[in-house]
Chain A
Amino acid sequence: MTFDNPIALTSTKNENPSSGSKVEKSYPLIDARGPRFGALITVIMLSLTLVLDSALPLLLQGIVFMIGATFGPQRTPYAFIFKRFVKPRLRGDVPTEDVRPPQFAQAVGLVFAIFALLGFASGSDPLFLIATSMALAAAFLNAAFNYCLGCEMYLLLTRAFKR
Chain B
Amino acid sequence: MERLLPVVIVLALASAYGLWYRSSRGKVKSSARAKLIALDRKTLGSELGERATLVQFSSAFCTPCRMTRTLITDVITDMPDVRHIDIDAESHLDLVRRLDIRSTPTTLFLDSSGIERGRAIGAPKRNELIEAITALKA
Contact = CB atoms under 8 A, between A and B. Distances in A.
B9 to A, nearest CB: 8
B122 to A, nearest CB: 7
Contacts of B47: 20
A19 B72 CA distance: 9
Contacts of B15: 140, 144
Contacts of B120: none
Nearest to B122: A151
A147 B15 CA distance: 11
Contact of A100 (B18, B60, B97): B60
The number of chain A residues touching the other chain, given as a range, is: 35 or more
Nearest to A48: B7
The number of chain B residues touching the other chain, given as a range, is: 35 or more
B10 A136 contact: yes
Nearest to B17: A141
Contact of A51 (B3, B57, B60): B3
Interface stretch (B87-95, B110-118, B128-136): B87-95
Contacts of B17: 137, 141
Contacts of B38: none
Interface in A6-28: 16, 18-22
A145 B10 contact: no
Interface string A78-113: 000000000000000000011011111000000000
27 contacts: A16-B86, A18-B73, A19-B84, A20-B47, A20-B83, A20-B86, A21-B85, A32-B63, A47-B7, A97-B63, A98-B63, A104-B61, A137-B11, A137-B17, A145-B21, A147-B21, A150-B61, A151-B59, A151-B61, A151-B64, A151-B104, A154-B90, A154-B104, A155-B101, A155-B102, A158-B93, A162-B90
